[in-house]
Every structure is written in C-alpha cells, then in structure tokens.
Amino acid sequence: MDTNRRDFLMGALWMGAAAATVGCTSGKARTACCAGAPGCMSGYADKPFKELRVGVVGLGRGSLGIDLGKFPNVKITAICDITQSRIDRALARCAKNKIPTPRIFTGSPEAWKQMCEWDQVDLVYNGTPWQLHVPIALYAMEHGKHVVVEVPSALTLDDCWALVETSERTRRHCMQLENCCYGETEMLALNMCRQGLFGTLVHGEGAYIHDLRKSCYGKFDPATGSGGYWDYWRLRYNRAHGGNQYPTHGLGPICIDMDINRGDNFDYLVSVDSIQAGFQEYGKGKFGAGSPEAGWKVKMGDMNTTIIKTKLGRTIMVQHNVTGPRPYSRINLISGTKGMLQDYPLRIALEKVLGEGAHAFNEKETAELREKYKHPLWKTAGEYAKIHGGHGGMDFLMLLRLAWCLQMGQPLDMNVYDLAAWCSLNELTEKSADSRGRSMDVPDFTRGAWKTQKPWGFEDVDLAKMGLNLQKG
C-alpha cells in the first residue's frame, strides 16, 4: 500500500474515533428551553472573572488564543499540541508578548484531556482541526471549563445538539470563534441595520470563496509546522463530504443583522453542489497524472450554493468555493426596503426619498457613510486592531470582546444556539445537495427562546475599565 493511501485510511479511522467520543444523540426528544428557564443559555452570564486563566489547544490558527494573554488579568496557563514545532512557535509568541511561559500538554493525541482536567484553566480555546472540535469542547465543559471553538465548531446535527445539551446541563459557555462578525464591513453593516438605514431587512448573501488548493494538497511538515494542513485533515473531510463545509464566515454576520435566534430564526434551506473539477484538475496538474494525488476522489463540489428561508420570510444565500482561482470574497451583502450594502469592494446604496430608487452605487457617498456609521467597537479599538490584529483587525476585536464579557460577567456575544444554528448547515446542505436540492427543515436549537431573546445592540468595551491602554500596548 502506498504511503499516501495508508495516510488517508489512517485518517479515516482517526475521524471515526473522534465521532465515537461524541456519542449519538439523534432521535432523542428535545426538552423545552424557554427564556429564563434554568438551563437556557440565551443571555447566560457567569460570575465576573477577576483573573481569567486560558488553556489553548491546536497551535496553528489556535495560537491566536495566546494573544488573550496580552490583556490585563488574563493568564495563558496552558498550551497543547502534538506537533513540537507548533509548540515552539507558540512559546516564541508568548515570549514576544511578555506572556509568562505556560504549562505544556503534549506527547499524546489525547493530551488535551489533561489540560481540560487541570484546575488552573477556566477557558479552553480550541483551535484544532474540525474533527476534534466537538470531542474537546464536550470534554472541557464536562470538566467545568468554558470553551470557545474555531469554525466550524460542529459538523453534524447530532454534534450541534450534543454541544447545546452539554452547555445547558453544565452551565458552561460554548462559543464559536466567528471572527468575521467583528469585521469592519460587517460591523458597519450591523450598525446601519440597527439604525434602520436599510429599512426592513429582506435578503442577505454571504460566502467563503478562498483558493485553498495549495494548503489542502500541501504536505504538512512536522519539523517546521508549515506546508499544508496537519495530516491533510481538511482534504480528508472535503473528499468524504459535499455541501457547504465552511458556512459561518459569510453567514454569521448576516444572522446577527437579521436577529437569528433573537427575533427571527431559520426555517428551511435548499442547497445545490456544482461538479467537482477544481481539486481533481489541481491534483493531476500539480502532481502528475500517475501520482496518488491525481487519483484522490473528492466528493465536495467546487461551488455549493444554499438558500435559507427564515421564519419571518427573509432569504439568505450562502456560497462555498475553495477549489479554484477566484479572488477572496465573503460577499457581505445585506439588503432591505430602503437600501443595501455589499462588499468586495464595499458599496452602499440608500434610497433617500420613498420610491425614488437607489439605482447606482456612489463611491463618494460610500466613503462618507463608512466613516459616519463606523461601529462603536471599531471607533474604540479599530485602528489599533488593524495594526496589531490579524484579518484586518477582526481577530483582535473578537478577543477583546471575549475578554471583556468574561471579565465583566456579561453574556458572550455568540452563544451555543448561534453555534448550532450556523453549523447545522454542514449536515443539512450536504443532505439537501445529495437529494437534488430537497428542502431541509433547520432545527430550532433554542426551542422557542428565539422569540423573546434580545438582539445584539451596539457592543463595545470600556478600555479604561479593562486597564488597557492600546497606545502603549
């Protein structure tokens, strides 16, 4: 058996083991979760953390979590990974930011269990490959830890329910790290929605269009921690599954605009996959017709297009394409009865007088509106975030809000119901696409609480209260 093939088979076994850890909860009757009931996590806040102790697992993208240690009264007490080069890189990041050396958990694929059990951790920051998100999150909550999880936090409906039920039972936060909700454009759109500038919201469009051919087919080098995804984890999933596998970057911000789980909710969706050609041609073209890579079959279509209908009758279009030479885009379109905003590039059109129309985008007006309606959080920390934080600043703002909410004893911006609703697309879009775009009902993970929950307002932080001086930071 050639090495590449054996690698893939071993990966399949590993993925099976991860799923077994989670356990299956499908078909179980769901108990009611009404607003205010003891188990409900909508609006839930823990006691304020005077000192927040964080354990970070998965030190690729997850090493962003180390930056929480830059905030006053937040300590990175633990890091965990199975790749030494990634641990070394994380330690260098600590040193660069004058963060005291944390305890290291490594040496076994389950070293994260010891980290979750350790009493010097309050919050587990989970930046592992997709297949490990749920097992680690469940284990962390069962051991009394709050948990934040990279995107997509769950891949199946069973796993979404498992996270919801465990979060409710243990009273631990389980938040998805959807950094795009803090993007400059996304928060500008939110601010304009909240001020009624687009009128009644009717339709949104979001996407993840990002050429990932090189990373997905790249061979991860444990010595350097570079070259591709660890153990081809992403391609393994792409090969086995269709549908939209990475829906939340485009979808999350639109859900916030439209108050999904907080006044509106998903009703059903339909989804269609295009042919798969991009990865197949890349495999052949890059590695040669006789290579193992050229023979790897991939189920994921190049383009998945999904339309969600909400309970209030709005529509949301979501796309996923990571297999071809298209410029990056999340689309970021939100439109209503009085105007619209869309991104890549940013354009805004508003109707000033009823019925007069907003037929053309106006570059000058867009620039003015961008300044005028800058979100309060962006006014507070946006300039610093742009210089010091990844992805145009949104990574820093997500961490800032997370630290603020936990330190002040406030509900987190995104709760476990948001996580479940947004991640439910993974399974539902695949099922719909596999059955000629059949419509799929989306579960109401809040079990009715969406009707009474408070929408996002104008979330901000008080830097002085946090003891933060961003000029000096």
Ligand X SMILES: NC(=O)c1ccc[n+]([C@@H]2O[C@H](COP(=O)([O-])OP(=O)(O)OC[C@H]3O[C@@H](n4cnc5c(N)ncnc54)[C@H](O)[C@@H]3O)[C@@H](O)[C@H]2O)c1
Residues in contact with ligand X by CB under 6 A are 57-61, 80-83, 86, 109, 112, 127-130, 132, 150-151, 177, 179, 229-230, 233, 391
**Smallest separation, CB 87 to ligand X (Å):** 9
**Closest residue by beta carbon to ligand X:** 60
Closer residue to ligand X in complex, CB, 298/449: 298
Task: In whole angstroms, give the CA distance from residue 33 to residue 40.
Answer: 6
Closer residue to ligand X in complex, CB, 55/339: 55
**Cα torsion angle, 29, 35, 41, 47, sign:** negative
**Smallest separation, CB 57 to ligand X (Å):** 5
Q: What residues contact residue 463 under an 8 Å CB cut-off, 6+ apart?
A: 380, 381, 469, 470
Closer residue to ligand X in complex, CB, 80/461: 80
**Smallest separation, CB 118 to ligand X (Å):** 15
First to last CA, the chain: 54
The residue among 127, 141, 131, 18 whose CA lies nearest residue 83 is: 127
**Smallest separation, CB 410 to ligand X (Å):** 22
Structure tokens at 453: 């929950």
CA geometry: angle 452, 455, 457, nearest 5 deg? 145
CA distances from 128 to 125, 242, 308, 440, 456 (A): 9, 21, 29, 29, 28
Structure tokens at 87: 């641990």
Closer residue to ligand X in complex, CB, 171/391: 391
**Smallest separation, CB 130 to ligand X (Å):** 5
Asked if the peptide bond before residue 345 counts as cis, ω within 30 degrees of 0, the response is yes
Closer residue to ligand X in complex, CB, 61/347: 61
Closer residue to ligand X in complex, CB, 150/427: 150
- Do the beta carbons of residue 459 and residue 401 sit within 8 Å? yes
Cα 46 to its chain centre, rounded Å, is 22
* Residue 353 half-sphere exposure toward CB, CA atoms < 13 A: 1
**Smallest separation, CB 31 to ligand X (Å):** 30
Closer residue to ligand X in complex, CB, 129/339: 129
**Smallest separation, CB 151 to ligand X (Å):** 5
